[in-house]
Every structure is written in structure tokens, then in C-alpha cells.
Amino acid sequence: MHDDRSLIEGRLKRVLDERVRPAVYPESVPLDIAVWNAPGEPVPVEEGLAGPVEPVAVGDRWGAPWGTSWFRVSGTVPEKWAGRTVEAILDLGFDENMPGFQCEGLVYRPDGTPVKGLNPRNQWVRIGAPVAGGEEVLLHIEAASNPVILDYHPFLPTQLGDKETAGSEPQYTLARMDLAVFDRTVWELIQDFEVLGELMAELPLDGARRWEILRAIGHALDAIDLQDVNGTAAVARERLAGVLATPAPATAHRLSAVGHAHIDSAWLWPLRETVRKVARTTANMTALLEDEPEFVFAMSQAQQFAWIKEHRPEVYAKVKKAVADGRFVPAGGMWVESDTNMPGSEAMARQFVHGKRFFLDEFGIENDEAWLPDTFGFAAGLPQIIKAAGSKWLLTQKISWSTINKFPHHTFNWEGIDGTRIFTHFPPVDTYNCSMTGEQIAHAAKNFKEKGVARHSLAPTGWGDGGGGTTREMIAKAARLKSLEGSATVEWEAPAEFFAKAEAEYANPPVWVGELYLELHRATLTSQAKTKQGNRRSEHLLREAELWAATAAVRAGAPYPYEELDRIWKTVLLHQFHDILPGSSIAWVHREAAKTYERVAAELNTVIGDAQRALAGDPAGGTDLLFNSAPHARGGVAAGAAGPAATGAGVELSPREGGGYVLGNGLLEIGIDGRGLVVSAYDISAERETVAPGAAANLLQIHPDFPNQWDAWDVDEFYRNTVTDLTDLDELTPVEGGVRIVRTFGSSKVTQLLTLAPGAKRLDIDTEVDWHETEKFLKAAFPLDIHAERYASETQFGHVFRATHTNTSWEAAKFEACNHRFVHLEEPGWGVALVNDSTYGHDVTRTVRASDAGTTTTVRVSLLRAPRFPDPETDQGVHRFRHSLVPGAGIGDAVREGYRVNLPERRITGTDAEVAPLVTVDNDAVVVSAVKLADDGSGDVVVRLYESAGGRARALVGLGFGATALAVTDLLERPLTDTEPPALDGGAVRLSLRPFELITLRLTRG
């Protein structure tokens, strides 16, 4: 037989596009249209429905950027359509290739009841099936004219990302507003053709199945009268029935489909628009659940449920009913799908605390899975946090985006820094926006790396990023793929059902140890510095607020601000979303974030001040108290206590031979040359130089920074090829305890204070940058005279080690990585820490010197970038950073100094000579990460601790209050039934911790 494949395939495409698809709606009549353009921000529904409308027509332009237009469409169903299915086709001017990234709408009835959402892949509203004829139709559309930020030519700078700069030019053209007859048979024929055509393209040419499908498609096309598609569609379907009925073999890959709409809580739209995106999507999904009995939809992010509960209670009522029916599944158990690299220990824990508690309180549902399809890599401390929250599974897809190394597993156990293992799945479909195409289904089966030992994978199915969700077309395709020869089988299942099956069939999955590093989007550790600083500061203010409010409640009977802290925590957690904290959102998002962080800081400082005032007593008392919020003693004051501060020896400053100055405090001697660079940091007791010979530390370096794509997200390795050392000096002036340095470069200016602290082995570096560069990357380099094959970076509840060399492609890929408060390098017996108050990105490299064959290991902290997409003014303006170089530091010193720089001393005058801590710990390796009152309002004291050094630790936890009962709990403060609690022994608790173990204690007060 001759090969006529291309002939039939080409025929199928043209007949589908030009004849069959238009026949879905064979008859239509136009609707009357009127519009009210609401001024300013979105208005309540009742106001929108009552707005003064004016006539408008198809073809008219509408919608200023970020505006809201309330369309009123009305008409009458023709009498002759009686007994037929009728839909309203409401095309606001959509580009079907941009679901989630364009204008959208929510349709209401005249009484304000929401009907469903409109988006580029969902433009229909059912009027009746069947209609009686003569019905009057009146619908209102709340249409959002969100501008296109990520266009066909992506990553071009645009002012559309902020309402303040976007202008008023209409963005869209009304395309179609009709009542139309819906021909279900033609629509079903399209699904038949698409499923078979897409499957056929994936089958091997030498297999009989491909040719069977080709012949069936050819016969079906022969049955279609191109001038009467509606009259002949049924016959065409009959000719396809046989190939659609051939079942898949028992060995076929099994795909668990779950309805999904990945909705970024902010990204190329502001937070307020996400509230409406969630309402549109959930309105669509609850309607679809009513029509499709096998369909299951999952939505993560408790924050998004909370938004519709607050802003769209009518939609939320439908969601609650669907959840109760088991069809709408709250997934993931987190407040938002957060970044997991940068949030601190407690913040990462609270993502699960607040998320899981919301789902428990609202729906009575306990999540076993963490659901993070789009997060940009996963910190090695996360498995322990997931388990401590009472969950046991993780799903993500993003690691498939790695550009250098292909991850070797799709289903595996992920082991964190403490040894906790979490059963993890990466969907081999390689998208969290699966649309049930044949190519996607075939890719999932072919790509699945566990073939031969496992057969299940998961496919999150629906349009996402900007929402939209699953469509009726996807569900129709899934029905045909339930068991179809040549394809993986498809079944709608909730995430928990998938994970239970996958875990049961794979008793001994492979193990991946350590972080899940994404070999992409590395620059998200640096972009939008003010957002990152706001997050870091908020995390530590929350620690202080909880500590002092709990202490004041126990010591002074002060009221504990439960509701205020709960609200603020949720605000901070929201801003850890994986496109806010990473700095990859539009300007509007980050402008609002800066204001939010200012408000959060003011509120928390008030909480802290009120609690400390309650503890210190009358300010006229004259006693100067130092409040120490850090988990280690400082200035002679115990951790979590207040008392008079001890003073250390002074700092000497003298001219340096050859120019510059020498700083000394009896512990360190710092040499600063005439360029204002640190050329020596001598540890006096160890008789050891820190700075590599011939090198200079605190060297600011600037690189060009124009990645191949994803500007705010990416830094490509070639940026290192060009570097400029910023050594020109405007000013070098002695100040108390140190020197002041001023430099100008390009259009920017940097001012630094380098000071030695009395009695401390550290050099403090305060940096102010007035930044006005474009597409540049600013770093500060510290070349160290230290030989180390690995270094430590702080992560949640511990630290992770990374190589300093590039032996393998996996190590070479980590040319920019994340740390929290410190990085630490060490030779046996002597090390160096570099701590920070707000930076996350860094790189570490090593070279061998020709002069003495010694090793120079260079740590560079990333300070600022200047990408132009999606915010063309990223990071322009003044920024302040604090770092400290700590020679002679062990890992314990790094932990201590990291907390110190993030928890500044607070001083207050009062009558009391001291405030005793609620909790003491006799081992510095065991760190208290939180002291608070229990969230349930019982008054119980909750203490969370972790082993910070990476070794076994015993600790005596002393209690500064009477306790009558003790429980070891999960993160939600529920007693662990499988853990024997330690005994309360004379007002103390003796603990034994494994490396990096975290423990939460709940103590009932007497």
C-alpha cells in the first residue's frame, strides 16, 4: 500500500480547522451590549451591576490597563431553537494562545449570583439544554482588562506592569457576543478527531495501530459532507467508534489526572487581581464538577481559599459543598506555594501550620501531601518540616526545567539534612498545565524513569499560571483515554489517591540526599532586594514579637496578641509566594510589598515595645536594660532575657604603612589599604591570616547581566567572563571603631562603614548603595586563605554542604546558590564565617596560587541586580546591607553571629534590674527557634528547638515558669502519639537530639 500519511494528516487538519470547528455553533444571533467602565480599582458586585451603562458594539476597543469594565449583554432565544442546546459566546477579544495572561471575566446573573469565568479557552455560558425558545437572556460580565506583560516576543521591558505607569490606552477589541446553538455531536466529533490524530502522531510508523487509526480517520473524513457537517457528523463518529473502543493493554502506563489551575498568587498581575482570578477559576470548576461526574479538581494555597471566602462568599459556598462531596480537593497544606530556598526556619514551618490549620478548620481535611509544582528548587531542610507538619508526600514539576543535568528519578524518597525521607513525585508529563494532548500523554509514558518497577504518574490538568483550570475539552479527551490502545490510561484521581497507589507499588524507591537544586532561575536569590530585606526583617521581628509577648504574658500577665500575630504571619507568608519573594513579579507587586513590609514592621515593633514595657516597668526607673532576642547570650545577657549590658575593650585605629588604616581590638587586626580594601584580617590568638596573600576582601565587583531569557529570574554563567573591580576611591575617613569608604561607579554610589566590635572577633561591614545601573550584577568578594573542598550554607533548621570545586556537572551547575544568615568555610580547627542581614545569593570558587601553592577560596555575596523585565526599574534607588566577616569561626560561631546580625539589641529604661528568660538551654548547639503561646489560646507555652551544628547533642532545657505537663508535638502543636515525651525533672527537660533534629515542646503552665 502506498504511504498516504501526509495526505490524510493534512486533510484532517484543514477539515477540522475550516469546516468542523465552525460547525459547533451552526446558528447564532447577536446580543445587545452595553458597558460601564468602573473608575479606579475594582468595585463591589452590587455596584458593578448597577453601574450606568452605555451602548457598545463588537469591534469596539475597550479596557484601559488594569481597568474593570462591566458589560451587560441581553437578548432573546429565537423561538425556532426550541428543544436545542443554546450557549452565549462571549469573546472579549481573547487570544486563545494566552490563557491566564490576558483579559478575563466573571459572569453574573442579574441578582449577583456568579455563573462562571471567561478566559481565552473558556468563552461559553450555557443558557439551556434544551431551551423552550423565547427566553429572555440578561448577563453581566465583570471584565478585567489585564494587559499582556509576557508577549510573543518575551521579556521586553514594559511600563504596563504598574497601574501608575501603564497609561490609559484600550487593550482589547470586543470580538463576539452572540447567542448560538451548540451542536454536541459536532463538538464530540472534534474530540474524537483530536484524540486519535494526536495519538496517531506519537505511535511508531512500523506499528499497525498507527495505520489503523489513519485509515479510520480517512473513512470518517469521507463521511463528512463539507456543506452539511452538522447533518453528517454522527456518521463520521460511527466510523471512528471502533478504533476508539480498542482498550489499552494491562502493561500501559497509568496516568492519574487531577484537575488543576496553577494560580500564581501574584506575578504578572497584582495581589488584588489574583483574588478575582481565583473567583473566576473556582466558579468555572464548581460548575464543571456538576456536569462531569468523574472529574476531580485540586486547588492548593489556603490563602486563595481565604480570599474567595472573604470576597466571593457565593462562590465559596459552592466550593465548600464540592469539598464536602470529595470532588474539590484542598491540596498541599500550605498557606501559599512559597519559595522554599529563602524562607527562614520558622517561616517555612508556619507555611504548613497556617495552611493545614485552615483546611482542618474549614473542611476537616488533613493534607498528607505538599504540593509545590512551580517552586524554584527545594532546600534540604524541607523534608523534616513536611514530616513535622504531619505530611508525608511531596509533588513538584519544576526540576524538569533544569538546563544542565537531567534529574534521574520521577518517583523517589527525598532525604533531608536530618535524615528524614519524604516520598516524592515529579510528574513525567513535565508540565503543571497539562491539557490532555496526545503529545503530553505520550511524553509522560516515554519519559517516566521508573519503568519496569512502577507504572503510576500524575498529570495536573488545566490551564494555569494565571488560572483558568480544566476545560470540558480536556475532560472529554480524558474520557477517551481512559483505556485506549497505544496510549497511557487516564483516570481522574485526587492527589492522595495517586500517592497511595504510587507508594504501594514502589516499596523501595531510590533515595536522593540533599537539596533539590534547580539549575535555572538562580538570580531569584538576588532580584528585588527590598522585598527580600522586608521578608528577612519581618521573620525576625515576628520571632521577637512572639518571644516578648509570651514572656510578658507569663511574667506580667499581659494579654497575648493572638489575632494580630496570626494576621501578620499570614501577610508575611503570602509575600513568600514563589514569584514575590524571588523578585520575579511586576513593579506593582513589589511596590505594594515594600509598603506592606513597612506596615508589618511598625505593627510588630509596637507589639515588641508594649511587651518589653510591661516587662521593664516604669521608664522613670532609670535602669538601662538590654533585651536579647537572640538564642545565645549577648553582652552579658542570657538568651531571651533582659539585663544590664556588659562592655568590652575598645578599638584602636592607627595609620597603615603604605596608606590606609589598621583596626585592632585585641582579638583581630584588620588592615585596610589606601583603596579602602581589606588586605588583612589577622586572627591574633590563632596566629592566622584570613585574607589570601596578594588579594583584597570586601572587593566590590560588577558584571554585565543580560541572560538569554527570564531576566529577573536568571543569571547565566557567562556573566563571569567580564568583571570590573570597583577600586576607585572617593573617600576614606576614620570614624569611631573603623573607617568610612565612599566610591562612585557608573551612575551609582556606595558608602561603607567598616568597624570592629569591642570584644568580638568580627569585622562589621555596613553597605549603602545608591543604585542606578541597568542590567548589571553587583557582588562583594572575600578571597580567603583557606583550603576547603566544601562549605556550609545555612538553610532551614541547619545547614547544607556544597562543593567548592566543579568536579562534576552537578557541582558546576551550582554557580549561584542560596544561604540564609551565613556561609562557613573551615579547615580542621579553624574556619571563617560570612554572615548577613538580608542577602541570599552567593557563589564560592577556589584557585591554587602559583606563588605558594596555597588555596584561595573566594566567597562572593550577591548584592544587587538590575533586570528590566518584568519590572523595568528593578532595584533602582538606595539599599542598605549588613555583613560581618568572622575569622576563626566554627560552625557554632557562624550560627551565633548570623542570629546576632539579624536580631539587633534593643534597650529600654525601666525599674526592673533584669527579666529572666522563659527558657534556657545549656548547649549552644541546640538553638531555640521560637518561644510563643499555643495558637489555641490555652496559655500553654510552645518552645521549638533544633540541633544546629550537625552532630548529636544533649541539652538541659530549663523552664523559667512552673509547668505541670509536657508534650512533644508536631508543628501544629498536637501531641505526637508515637513519641515518648521526656520527663519534667525539677523544672527542666533533658533532651537528646540527632543532627539537625527539630523538636517542638508544649508546656502546660501551673
In angstroms, rounded to a whole number, what is the distance separating the alpha carbons of residues 1000 and 986?
A: 20
Query: What single string gives the DSSP state of each residue in 76-96?
Result: E--GGGTTS-EEEEEESS--T
In angstroms, rounded to a whole number, what is the distance separating the alpha carbons of residues 529 and 840?
A: 10
Q: Which amino acid is at 554?
A: V
C-alpha cell belonging to residue 896 = 551565633
In angstroms, rounded to a whole number, what is the distance separating the alpha carbons of residues 605 and 952?
A: 36
C-alpha cell belonging to residue 160 = 504596563
The active-site residue out of 91, 162, 264, 374 is 374
C-alpha cell belonging to residue 65 = 490597563
In angstroms, rounded to a whole number, what is the distance separating the alpha carbons of residues 940 and 957?
A: 16
User: Angle 902-905-909 (CA atoms, 0-180°, nearest 5)?
Assistant: 155
893-924: buried (b, 16+ CB within 10 Å) or exposed (e) per residue? bbbbbbbbbbbeebebebebebbbbbbbbebb
In angstroms, rounded to a whole number, what is the distance separating the alpha carbons of residues 962 and 107?
A: 59
Q: Which amino acid is at 678?
A: V
Q: How far apart are the first and last CA of the chain?
A: 90
C-alpha cell belonging to residue 265 = 498568587
Residue 228 known to be catalytic: no
For 662, counting Cβ atoms within 10 Å of its Cβ (0-12 exposed, 13-18 middle, 19+ buried), the class is middle
Q: Which residues pair with 497 in a beta bridge?
A: none
Q: Report whether the peptide linkage leading into residue 870 is cis, meaning its omega lies within 30 degrees of zero.
A: yes
In angstroms, rounded to a whole number, what is the distance separating the alpha carbons of residues 92 and 550?
A: 54
Q: Are 267 and 578 spatial neighbours (Cβ–Cβ below 8 Å)?
A: no
In angstroms, rounded to a whole number, what is the distance separating the alpha carbons of residues 609 and 611?
A: 5
For 701, counting Cβ atoms within 10 Å of its Cβ (0-12 exposed, 13-18 middle, 19+ buried), the class is middle
Max distance between CA atoms of the chain, in angstroms, equals 103
Residue recorded with cell 568590652: 648
For residue 491, the surrounding DSSP H or E stretch is strand 489-492
User: Angle 83-87-88 (CA atoms, 0-180°, nearest 5)?
Assistant: 140
C-alpha cell belonging to residue 99 = 490563557
For 135, counting Cβ atoms within 10 Å of its Cβ (0-12 exposed, 13-18 middle, 19+ buried), the class is middle
- Find all residues with CB under 8 Å of 162, minimum gap 6, and list them: 586, 587, 588, 591, 871
DSSP-derived secondary structure letter, 392: -
Q: Under DSSP, is residue 489 helix (H, G, I), strand (E, B) or coil?
A: strand
In angstroms, rounded to a whole number, what is the distance separating the alpha carbons of residues 930 and 944?
A: 5
Q: Report whether the peptide linkage leading into residue 130 is cis, meaning its omega lies within 30 degrees of zero.
A: yes
Spell out the alpha helix ranges (H) of 575-586: none
C-alpha cell belonging to residue 874 = 528593578
DSSP-derived secondary structure letter, 757: P
- Find all residues with CB under 8 Å of 403, minimum gap 6, and list them: 519, 520
The H helix count followed by the E strand count for the chain is: 18, 52
Strand boundaries in 146-175, DSSP class E: 172-173
For residue 895, the surrounding DSSP H or E stretch is helix 891-902
Residues marked active site are found at 374
